[in-house]
Structure 1
Amino acid sequence: MTTVTDHGPGQGSRAPGGPAPEGHGHPASPGPYGRARTRRAGALAALRLSLASLRTHKRRFTGTFAAVLLGVSFVAGTLVMGDTLRASFDTMFGNAAAGTDAVVRSDSVITTAGNAQGTRQPIDTGVLGRIREVPGVAAAEPSVEGMGQIIGADGKPVGGQGPPTLAGNWIDDPELNPYTLAQGRAPARSGEAVLNKGAARRGGLHIGDTTTLRTPDPVRVKIVGLASFGGQDGMGQVTFAGLTLGDAERYLMPGKDRAASIQVRASEGTGQQELVNALKPVLPKSAEAVTGQRVAEEDQEMISGQFLTLFTSLLLVFSGIALLVAVFSIHNTFAIVIAQRTRENALLRALGASRRQVLGATLTEAVVVGLVASAAGLAGGIGIAAGLQALFPAVGFPFPEGSLVVSALSMALPPAVGVLVCVSSALLPAVRASRTAPLAALRETSAERTRVPRVRTLAGALLAAAGAGTTVLGAAGDPRSVWLAGAGAVAVFAAFLVLGPAAASAAVRVLGRPVARLRGVTGALAQRNALRSPKRTAATATALMTGVAVVSLFTVFASSTKATMDAAVSRSFAGDVAVSAPAFGAGGSGLSPKLASRVEALPEVSTALGLGKGVARVEGGGKELTVADPARLRDVLQLTGVHGSFGSLGTDGLAVSADEADKHGWHTGSAVELAFTDGDRERFTVRAVFDRNELAGDYVIGRHAWQPHRTQDSDTLLAVVFADGVAPEDGKAAVSEAVRPYGGPSVQTREEYAESSAAGIDMMLTLVYALLALAVLIALLGIANTLTLALHERTRELGLLRAVGQTRAQLRAMVRWESLLTAAFGTLGGLLLGGFLGWALVRAADSAGTAAFELPPGRLALVALVGVAAGLVAGLRPARRAARLNVLRAVASE
């Protein structure tokens, strides 16, 4: 009788009287060349076996293939789209600035946290005559630029919710003008304007139409021409209105003979740097000359660099989440396949295959699946980018009309990521396969342990306690630490993975009881099947748990952010209605400062106060200033903890928040130097300290103190208090009618204004849900694939159930309920994990300690419903396949 023994690593198996195992020094053992040939033969045999297994069992890897394909497609599409957009912007700005060789501008610029580009003081155009006399200068023209929002034919502003809305003078020199006249003519008289084609199309405006340009004072203009920018209809969603030089100075500058910059063209044979060097001696100390190439690069970085970096980074983050979900699905597939091939791998070991060869054979399957799926994913990503190229122009985004731009990195990285994800996911199952003992070939079946080791449960519990403690310490400690909370969150996630099998057993027992009562024997069988292998159930649910956790995290964070913003406005604003429009920082033109007096003249209004914005350098850093009439500020804002008097600010007084005062050691009477963009430095006295108010900001300055340093003046908010006895609806209607000639800004009650301040959160959350749908889809495919493999493993069992009377409908229901229980466990775990991590993120990001934490029950219930429904959908196809099994063949199968 032949016996088979497991000799451990590097040792083979031996029958009595047969050749000695390799490496034992037996005289009959082959020499080194023979051993090498044996190893090569074994490796080739293992490779052929792997490829044959893939061809024979293609359906086993359907879910793995789909997961890799979807993840790689997302990554490839993002990279190709980024390459193409970047090339488009580079070409656009290059064409627009091709004729400008030098730019003269003020060297005084102040950047703030809300404006990374900074605010630059206008330059005196009196230097224009000296510039034109410099040798090497062929032409020089002033470029007046400011904010100007176009009102469309429907009476609504065009743009302004992010992209800049620009206005300026139309430069007659075509080489110095970044815009090119496409239709009509240039403005020749006051009141005429040229619009970029994209803005005119979005606003429903045509040549000959008259519309309003909000600068922010309303200006009636007649459209006489349409222009393009760098060969495109415009610079993305940016709008532009070109006016005469006189109109541009009147509406966009603080005074006559002021311009944002002076554009200079060199004569033939003069280089850009040479021109800059020639200009420097004739410029005042407050001005600088830079090459046109540098300005073009700054514009590219501002529009394309920052935007594209944020845009592509966001998409790549969600691609990473989808691939993380794919890792769990792929790992589970390989783990089940390896478990089902225990006897096959044991026979290989018994026939002389080494552990390394079995490991290599399994990883070869992963590499082949990864390569094929990644190649398909790369093609799919290019297809996605091509689809977006056709879609984006429909929404006004400047996607180029030419060929897609694909870099070497975009071609190489996605497939490499796909193969790496596939191989790394299969590594642990492959190692487990290589450790299969030859003796396992004698077993009838390969059973998995149904009980979870206590050591694993204990380790998971300790890891969970440590992770939760670290997260709470980082999120709620003083001071808060985002990094500490993040490290704790990673530990908590790892603990969920370790505790998965134990949690799966407990959850399925609890969740399965009502199913068993509702469906009887069918429900009880579904519960037992889910309990049969807690490790497998947990691994199957982990992919869905990860997706649901990320969705829940963003849902909780967005809801808490919205609640925080609502609370901030509610506790800051004391008026009856708020008149608002997108301000400079948000791309709009803001409100006219003249609007406050017009509204306050209404009999329904007792107080109307405009709040504007300014910038100054305080203690070396750029700060935003709130510009208002300080004496009346407390009539419209809820200011608390005030020390000193707002009414005494005058033209040299300053009110600061208590946070800033504590930071710098200021108190009432302290002297503070403010440096403005026009180069002036003035000493102000702190005359009031107050608890920080979100609408008042950290620094408040009087309007008369700000007036000498302003550029284009505007308000960001007009707070209105009704007269005694005026009904809210009557007051709101009167204010709405009064502001209509000023471009129709929004008029909202306190509650409406608080809600609209957080309106962008819902838009962001919708985008997040759309992007995370890919991760949920991959998780759904993982559940379906796992069920299919598990049913294949239980073919004989299913046949016996059918043989003893189970109907096809009952079999389908059993499989669907098993899928539902698995999905319910994953969804429940994801909700708990996402809710906890959402709380941690809200607290860790709340440096001021004012954030509100809110669990949105409606949205989370919807997430739970979608998660459970995904499990139900995932079980439909496996249930149908199981019900179609031939009973006799199923019973006879091994």
Structure 2
Amino acid sequence: MNLVVGLFISSLRRRRFATGLSLIAVMLGVALGVAVSVVNRSALDEFAHGVRVLSGDADLQLVGPRNGFDETIFPRVAISDGLALASPVVEVDVRLPGRDATLRVVGLDLLRSMQVQPALRPEVDASLDAGALLDPDVIYPSPAALQTFALRTGQTITLQAGLQTVSLRVGGTAGGFAPGQVAALMDIAGVQWHLGMLGRLTRIDLRWATDGDTPATRAALQALLPPGLQLVAPVQREMQAADMSRAYRANLTMLAVIALATGAFLVFATQSLSVVRRQSEFALLRALGVTRGQLLGGVLAEGCAVGLVGGLAGVAAGHGLAAIALRTLGGDLGAGYFAGSRPALQFDLAASAVFLLLGLAASALGSWWPARRAANADIAPALRSAHQPLLPPARVHHRVALCLALLALALASAPPLGGLPVGGYLSVACVLACAVVCLPALAHLVTRLLTRWPGLLLGLVRARVAAAPSHAVIAAGGVLASVALSVAMAIMVASFRDSVDAWLGRVLPADLYVRTAQGAVVVGLDSAALQRLAAIPGVARVEPIRHEQIRLGDNSLPVALVARPVPAEGADRVFPMRALRACTGDCIWVSEAMTDLYGWRPGQQVTIPIGESLRRFEVAGIWRDYARQSGAILIDLARYRALTGDQRVNDVAVWAAAGVAPDALRGQVRQVFGPGVEIASAELIRRSSLALFDRTFAVTYALEACAVLIGLFGIAASFAALAAARRREFGMLRHIGVTRGQIGSMLALEGALVAGIGVLGGLLAGAAISVLLIYVVNRQSFHWSMDFAVPGASLALFSVAMLLFAALAARWAGSQAMRLDAVRAVREDA
């Protein structure tokens, strides 16, 4: 038995090139999946730690709209039966003038909060007296904030909250925050007074008394709350953060799994060709007493060894990639879900184990069919010296292909499972499998079409591929899978980008957009600021916009409420609308996500909390929105103000008068408002948004590139094995006068032809998969619709590049066999 094991190990050593490529393919697939999981896990752990620090020992948190709620609710809640303690909280994001980074200021009733958030406490500098703890003019930055803004104790700093500036003294350090959390503590009265939150709270942390949490006390507490306020357990906020990024993470993970499946094709190709070359060796082992089971196990063990080593290397590489991603893209992987976070790398044991097992499974599946063929091969023919090993003929399983196509259609129509397009993912797998099953028919069709093309080398290549179609199918399988993935993603991304670009053109009609400085969305601009803006010379008109967040359910993510003037003649002038209908009463227009998540349809009567009251509205239309995944509602600004009394705005669209350049107008606005506002042209917002879009898909592009690289590895590995098995053929060609260069050109043409079959199949399969990605996966994941667009020029360039690289890989892989002396090659198997 030790001899048999040694033979299989020595076989892997002899095939170092093919084995190494298979190992790299598995490693890449595992590494990509582990990296995505580790980055997201690190970001979620940091967010969860921040939530736990801020919530402390609270059992529940009373939360409401983003701009807070009336503080008069606090005394009613604080004396509710069953509660031991209620701690009010105000959170405001501010900036230091001249700095882009934001500082989250947390205002607490420090005497109460010490019982709820004991870890979150100011550490007063020894040079200050005890009264500094409750001084409204003193702030306590976290260690990360001190480092980020280069602050020191005793220093006076200026904070910018909207148009307001306030000078505060650094009284020490805030303890309890996460290591990378840029935040600060203040007395709650100081935050309300200085930062524009008088009479407002953003949260109340609650702790039950012993045995106080009963259905009756919960019902009594809920009855005290006006509409729009909800009781949320801290763990629910962590779950909501995970839900926010789940679809994006799942899609990236599926791309990594497809890359791993492409690696399985490569293992299959190398093992299949290895089994063909070693038929005589296996026959001799069988004749010496090795059983079919031992032979089957040996070949399977070869594949599993590649999967194990590649998987372990992939786990290590995945954590390395995650470390790089955390430093460059942060915890959001470029998608903005955890923007600004720089979490520490954490080892993800679960993801490492899962993807290691997937790597083993991919290698085992890739080795299964070759192992069975090796175990079931006839002994006597393989022992003959003149035996020419061949793969079995490639067959098209029409019924299997038809069943896979019908199953793909059925799965594509399935609803999401747990908020994820599981049916869409399985449908993509069925389309890919159907394309692979149909690959022999495609290879036969391509070789028949080439019969009319003249040329000796092309004739030799065509004859070789036609005589050994199984070799072509095996080599083209990995190319098909990687090209299908790349084409599908290219079409989806192009469709998405074109749709976003067109959408931005519709929602950004003004010349300039003015908003309160980043982080001051709660404070906003008041009516006086609007009047000053409208009075600036060169301003033709202004249109105020108010953004708010409301909650429609206990476990649902906040929904955006957008209040802006809606023309009487139609909301389609404000946003790109579909399913628009006449509305006579109170009207709202909802995004596509609202129809998917809540089932709202035009003409339906719905109830939403506005102004701490429940109001009934009629859904007058559905609009396309790419900015808010959890849903958005559009309401006329005048009606919003009448219902809420809120006169502040977050953004103002500004139209320049005739003959006034937007850049000149920008300078005048800056002179009036100073650093308290951000000013951007529609074109700048468009470019920035598209740059963010490209950054979001940067990881996707990396996954595509790895899949394509694995496909090219498959071409190189297959032709290396084929060239080694065809040394006698090359020797015969040399004897009849064919030069080394011509043999190299023949191999290059053969590689290009085989790759062309895979590329053609990949283009067809990728187009079908892109339809699933656009109309099923993305719609069920992110609730966005988009217009179908094909980047023809990019796909053509990509296809030509694939053919060129495949030709170079095939020629390079066969160069070793061409160095063998012609006489020796002819006599080798005589």
Deviations 1:601-652 (A, max 9, x none): 223223211121345678999864432355789797379867468xxx8xxx
Matched, 1:61 2:19: yes
In structure 1, which of residues 136, 140, 143 is the aligned counterpart of residue 89 of structure 2?
Answer: 143
Instruction: Give the 3 Å change call, closer, same or farther, for CA 549–182 of structure 1 in structure 2.
Output: farther
Deviations 1:120-178 (A, max 9, x none): 745437629977999977xx7532124x2425635xx326xxxxx74332665684476
Q: Is the 8 A contact 1:615 1:624 kept in 2?
A: yes
Structure 2 partner of 1:860: 795
Matched, 1:359 2:300: no
Structure 1 partner of 2:443: 504
Instruction: Give the 3 Å change call, closer, same or farther, for CA 705–178 of structure 1 in structure 2.
Output: farther
TM-aligned CA deviation for residue 768 of structure 1: 0.4
Matched, 1:592 2:525: yes
CA distance in 1, matches of 2:599, 2:526: 32
Instruction: Give the 3 Å change call, closer, same or farther, for CA 470–420 of structure 1 in structure 2.
Output: closer
Structure 1 partner of 2:676: 742
Deviations 1:820-863 (A, max 9, x none): 33334333332332233213432446699973111123443454
Structure 1 partner of 2:335: none
CA distance in 2, matches of 1:361, 1:70: 25
**Aligned residue identity for 2:21:** G
CA distance in 1, matches of 2:724, 2:71: 78
TM-aligned CA deviation for residue 334 of structure 1: 1.3
Structure 2 partner of 1:832: 764
Instruction: Give the 3 Å change call, closer, same or farther, for CA 705–351 of structure 1 in structure 2.
Output: closer
TM-aligned CA deviation for residue 55 of structure 1: 4.8
Deviations 1:350-385 (A, max 9, x none): 566554443233223333333344344445445556
Structure 1 partner of 2:311: 374
CA distance in 2, matches of 1:851, 1:324: 28
Structure 2, unaligned runs of 5 or more: 332-338, 415-419
Q: Is the 8 A contact 1:171 1:177 kept in 2?
A: no
SS class of match (1:853):
coil
Instruction: Give the 3 Å change call, closer, same or farther, for CA 423–166 of structure 1 in structure 2.
Output: same
CA distance in 1, matches of 2:273, 2:729: 17
Deviations 1:182-225 (A, max 9, x none): 897879776765554545655677774755534x4443445736
Instruction: Give the 3 Å change call, closer, same or farther, for CA 275–484 of structure 1 in structure 2.
Output: closer
TM-aligned CA deviation for residue 763 of structure 1: 1.6
**Aligned residue identity for 2:274:** V
Instruction: Give the 3 Å change call, closer, same or farther, for CA 708–413 of structure 1 in structure 2.
Output: same
Q: Is the 8 A contact 1:195 1:223 kept in 2?
A: no
Q: What does 1:106-505 correspond to in 2, within 5 Å?
A: 106=62, 109=64, 121=69, 123-124=71-72, 127=75, 142-146=88-92, 148-150=93-95, 153=98, 157-158=100-101, 166-169=104-107, 172=110, 175=114, 176=117, 179=120, 193-198=139-144, 208=155, 210-214=157-161, 216-221=162-167, 224=170, 230=176, 232-235=178-181, 239-240=182-183, 242-250=185-193, 255-256=198-199, 258-262=200-204, 273=210, 285-286=223-224, 296-303=234-241, 305-306=242-243, 313-349=250-286, 354-381=291-318, 397-400=341-344, 405=347, 407=349, 409=350, 412-441=353-382, 443=384, 444-448=386-390, 453=395, 456=396, 459=399, 462=402, 489-505=428-444
**Aligned residue identity for 1:700:** I
Instruction: Give the 3 Å change call, closer, same or farther, for CA 795–85 of structure 1 in structure 2.
Output: same
**Aligned residue identity for 2:106:** G
Instruction: Answer with 528-537 or 72-81: which moved more.
Output: 72-81
**Aligned residue identity for 1:721:** W
Structure 2 partner of 1:562: 497
In structure 1, which of residues 773, 786, 791 is the aligned counterpart of residue 718 of structure 2?
Answer: 786
TM-aligned CA deviation for residue 672 of structure 1: 6.6
Q: What does 1:612-691 correspond to in 2, within 5 Å?
A: 612-614=546-548, 624-629=560-565, 637=574, 643=582, 653-656=586-589, 674-676=608-610, 678=612, 680-682=613-615, 689=620
CA distance in 2, matches of 1:643, 1:529: 68
Q: Is the 8 A contact 1:93 1:300 kept in 2?
A: yes
CA distance in 1, matches of 2:219, 2:560: 34
SS class of match (1:101):
coil
**Aligned residue identity for 2:170:** V
In structure 1, which of residues 93, 101, 106 is the aligned counterpart of residue 57 of structure 2?
Answer: 101
**Aligned residue identity for 1:628:** R
Structure 2 partner of 1:10: none
CA distance in 2, matches of 1:463, 1:508: 27
In our comparison, the structure showing a higher alpha carbon Rg is 1
CA distance in 2, matches of 1:588, 1:886: 77
CA distance in 2, matches of 1:623, 1:389: 29
CA distance in 1, matches of 2:559, 2:240: 20
| Identity of matched residues, % | 21
TM-score (structure 2 length as normaliser): 0.77
Alignment RMSD (CA, Å): 5.2
Deviations 1:315-363 (A, max 9, x none): 5323312211111111111111122223333444556655444323322
Q: Is the 8 A contact 1:325 1:546 kept in 2?
A: yes
CA distance in 2, matches of 1:66, 1:89: 34
Matched, 1:851 2:786: yes
Deviations 1:397-450 (A, max 9, x none): 44448xx5454x456434433322211111112222222123422552335479
Instruction: Give the 3 Å change call, closer, same or farther, for CA 217–601 of structure 1 in structure 2.
Output: same
TM-aligned CA deviation for residue 497 of structure 1: 0.9
CA distance in 2, matches of 1:247, 1:513: 86
In structure 2, which of residues 8, 20, 27 is the aligned counterpart of residue 50 of structure 1?
Answer: 8
Q: Is the 8 A contact 2:327 2:342 kept in 1?
A: no
**Aligned residue identity for 1:763:** R
CA distance in 2, matches of 1:604, 1:356: 87
CA distance in 1, matches of 2:376, 2:314: 33
TM-aligned CA deviation for residue 50 of structure 1: 3.4
Instruction: Give the 3 Å change call, closer, same or farther, for CA 702–232 of structure 1 in structure 2.
Output: closer
CA distance in 1, matches of 2:49, 2:551: 36
Instruction: Answer with 460-469 or 713-722: which moved more.
Output: 460-469
Instruction: Give the 3 Å change call, closer, same or farther, for CA 227–777 of structure 1 in structure 2.
Output: farther
Instruction: Give the 3 Å change call, closer, same or farther, for CA 260–875 of structure 1 in structure 2.
Output: same
Structure 2 partner of 1:768: 700
Q: Is the 8 A contact 2:514 2:678 kept in 1?
A: no
SS class of match (1:741):
helix
Structure 1, unaligned runs of 5 or more: 1-42, 111-117, 160-164, 266-270, 476-480
SS class of match (1:744):
strand
CA distance in 2, matches of 1:546, 1:856: 19
**Aligned residue identity for 1:150:** R
TM-score (structure 1 length as normaliser): 0.72
Instruction: Give the 3 Å change call, closer, same or farther, for CA 467–307 of structure 1 in structure 2.
Output: closer
CA distance in 2, matches of 1:681, 1:554: 43
Q: Is the 8 A contact 2:88 2:108 kept in 1?
A: no
Instruction: Give the 3 Å change call, closer, same or farther, for CA 222–826 of structure 1 in structure 2.
Output: farther
Number of positions where the alignment pairs a residue of Structure 1 with one of Structure 2: 786
Deviations 1:857-888 (A, max 9, x none): 34434543553454255336424423433444
Structure 2 partner of 1:13: none
Structure 2 partner of 1:12: none
**Aligned residue identity for 2:475:** T
Instruction: Give the 3 Å change call, closer, same or farther, for CA 504–206 of structure 1 in structure 2.
Output: farther
SS class of match (1:445):
coil
TM-aligned CA deviation for residue 796 of structure 1: 1.9
Q: Is the 8 A contact 2:90 2:203 kept in 1?
A: yes
